[in-house]
Amino acid sequence: MRNKIVAGNWKMNTTVKEGVKLAKEVEALVAKVNNAAKVIVCTPFTHLTEVAKVINKVALGAENCASETSGAYTGEVSASMVVSTGAKYVILGHSERRAYYNETDEILNKKVKLALANNLLPIFCIGETLDQREAEKHFEVVKTQLEKGVFDLSAADFSKLVIAYEPVWAIGTGRTANGQQIEEIHTFLRDVIAEKYGKTVAEECSILYGGSCNAANAKEIFSTPNVDGGLIGGASLKADSFLAIVEAV
């Protein structure tokens, strides 16, 4: 049985103090819920070490890591540094990094491999823009993102990934993809993974939905076939709304 996962992506929000407070609240609420879902908070680099101290049931992730191992890369944070904070996961391929920081499939492929080499588990994001959706290119776009980003991994390495489908037009817009749109893409993704790695690997892969998921719509989204949880932005910044999403999975 594949894991149900709810991961919060805090993005560039909260100070360290605010982040620690939020993490404590999330930990306390999640500890009370009898829920088999894996709960992850992905925080800014600056917060990781401090947040690691106040969570136990909740797992820790970073929002990025470098595409190089170490050395003269001013301002970068390597996968081994991320792991040394206690983080187990790293978000890679988020559309904001692809769009604003020019992270190409090739760069992301290097990041994924470095993360795995350091026992850091990637939450690998894919998703189409509104233009691509309107041009009916969304299936092709997400397939290419998988092929170029992660399909040269061994089956054993691919099995360590979490995939997150995040349509760019649904992120932070209050506009979610509808049930049919989510179901057809998630089913397509599982089929594409099955073609490449076989049915067993595909069946065990957790595929999350992200994009304006909140306490009110989470239950419906998570009941969609082939959706194994969510990657949550805005609604992960308040412990009670994040908890409501965790309870919905």
Q: Active-site residue numbers? A: 94, 166
- Minimum CB separation of residue 171 from ligand 13P in Å reads 4
# of chain residues touching ligand 13P (CB under 6 A): 14
Q: Which of residues 178-197 bind ligand 13P (CB under 6 A)?
A: none
Identify the three-state secondary structure at position 180.
helix
233 binds ligand 13P (CB under 6 A): yes
Q: Which of residues 90-129 bind ligand 13P (CB under 6 A)?
A: 94
63 binds ligand 13P (CB under 6 A): no
9 binds ligand 13P (CB under 6 A): yes
166 binds ligand 13P (CB under 6 A): yes
Which part of the chain contacts ligand 13P (CB under 6 A), choosing from 139-147, 193-201, 220-228, 229-237? 229-237
| DSSP codes, 201-249 | HHHH--EEEESS--TTTHHHHHTSTT--EEEESGGGSSHHHHHHHHHH-
Binding mask of the shown chain, residues 13 to 42, with x at each position contacting ligand 13P by CB under 6 A = ------------------------------
Out of 231, 239, 243, 249, point to the residue binding ligand 13P (CB under 6 A): 231
Nearest-CB residue to ligand 13P?
Answer: 233
- Minimum CB separation of residue 58 from ligand 13P in Å reads 17
Contact 35, 247 (CB under 8 A): yes
79 binds ligand 13P (CB under 6 A): no
Token pair, residue 196, equals 């490449």
Q: Which of residues 194-213 bind ligand 13P (CB under 6 A)?
A: 210-213
Contact 125, 170 (CB under 8 A): no
Contact 43, 10 (CB under 8 A): yes
User: Largest alpha-carbon pair distance within the chain?
Assistant: 47
172 binds ligand 13P (CB under 6 A): yes
Inter-residue long-range contacts of 237-241, CB under 8 Å, 24+ positions, other chains counted: 237/8, 237/10, 237/13, 237/14, 237/22, 238/22, 239/22, 239/25, 239/26, 239/28, 239/29, 240/29, 240/215, 241/214, 241/215
HSE on the CB side for 141, CA within 13 Å? 20
Residues that bind ligand 13P (CB under 6 A): 9, 94, 166, 171-172, 210-213, 231-235
